[in-house]
């Protein structure tokens, strides 16, 4: 009888300890601890559910009590440890606890100074951000993959395969060139860094000593030329409107008339050539030696001297 009583007592003690452990550590129920309820407005739940974890800079301080649906959005009521001081100037972010998709609500204060959130306070909606959930990300990825044209992707793969087939040696050469380039850059990194710094200093000195003042002096001139440039553009625009009416109007009627008059006054060149053909027949075989003619002119008019003429007397 005494053994049964001891067994029942031990079983009851284990049960009490188990319930206490579950209440204190798992369910986070501690009758000795004061709690505060804070309302967080949400545009979307972001995957939050009742009992989702609430943290302060990643440290667990409570859980989501409930999510109320209201007109224009949602309101998450969180129950946090009142001993944890949460500044009013804080960001609230709903994020993924892991890749499996468990969401949690995290307070991220911008400072450690007060005032602090108290029981019944409502966080400013502008400070709340909801990260995309795993389900939302997968939905976007699925929509993106549906937009991919598999035929076009297959064509690109076939083109690359055709372009590289039988060119293994060339590809190896390209890889070797890139390797040597990387080795060269790694070996000459100090010289390259020094060259860049020298160019930077040179540019700064040139700008400060010469280029900067000259640009500053040119600013008033450029500003003054703006009005003249605007007037020039507007004048060209006006001239284009006038020229359009002139070319399409008056000149469009004048040019055909001038062509008509010239056609009536100009001689028939084909008839003139036919008439002159018998007269020019005897001189067609003649050829002019341009070289001999130039030589004779150089003898008559030598460079740097007077003209010379040779006269041959009869009998000499």
**Domain spans of the chain, in order of start:** 1-32, 33-138, 188-279
pLDDT of res. 269: 60
pLDDT of res. 286: 62
pLDDT of res. 225: 78
CB 66 within 8 A of CB 50: yes
pLDDT of res. 165: 83
pLDDT of res. 270: 63
pLDDT of res. 4: 66
pLDDT less than 70: residues of the chain: 1-8, 10-33, 97-101, 133-135, 204-215, 241-255, 262, 264-273, 275-276, 279-280, 282-294, 297, 300-301, 303-316
pLDDT of res. 112: 84
pLDDT of res. 249: 60
pLDDT of res. 201: 77
Q: Is the pTM value of this prediction over 0.85?
A: no
């Amino acid at each position: 009888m005494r053994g049964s009583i001891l067994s029942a007592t031990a079983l009851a003690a284990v049960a009490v300890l188990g319930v206490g452990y579950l209440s204190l550590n798992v369910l986070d129920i501690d009758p000795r601890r004061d709690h505060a309820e804070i309302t967080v407005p949400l545009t979307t739940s972001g995957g939050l559910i009742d009992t989702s974890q609430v943290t302060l800079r990643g440290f667990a301080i409570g859980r989501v009590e409930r999510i109320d649906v209201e007109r224009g959005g949602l309101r998450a009521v969180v129950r946090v440890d009142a001993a944890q001081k949460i500044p009013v100037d804080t960001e609230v972010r709903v994020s993924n606890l892991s890749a499996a998709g468990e969401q949690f609500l995290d307070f991220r204060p911008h400072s450690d100074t007060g005032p602090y959130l108290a029981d019944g306070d409502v966080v400013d909606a502008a400070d709340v951000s909801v990260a995309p959930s795993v389900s939302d990300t997968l939905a976007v990825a699925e929509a993106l993959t549906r937009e991919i044209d598999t035929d076009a992707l297959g064509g690109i793969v076939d083109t690359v395969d055709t372009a590289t087939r039988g060119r293994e040696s060339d590809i190896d050469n390209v890889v070797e060139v890139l390797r040597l380039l990387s080795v060269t850059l790694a070996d000459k990194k100090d010289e390259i860094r020094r060259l860049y710094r020298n160019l930077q200093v040179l540019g700064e000195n040139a700008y400060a000593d010469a280029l900067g003042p000259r640009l500053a002096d040119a600013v008033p001139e450029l500003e003054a030329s703006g009005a003249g440039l605007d007037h020039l553009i507007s004048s060209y625009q006006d001239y284009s409107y006038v020229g359009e009416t002139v070319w399409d109007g008056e000149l469009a009627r004048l040019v055909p008339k001038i062509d008509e008059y010239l056609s009536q006054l100009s001689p028939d060149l084909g008839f003139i050539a036919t008439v002159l053909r018998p007269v020019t027949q005897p001189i067609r075989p003649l050829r002019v030696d341009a070289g001999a003619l130039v030589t004779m002119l150089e003898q008559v008019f030598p460079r740097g001297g007077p003209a010379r003429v040779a006269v041959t007397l009869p009998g000499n």
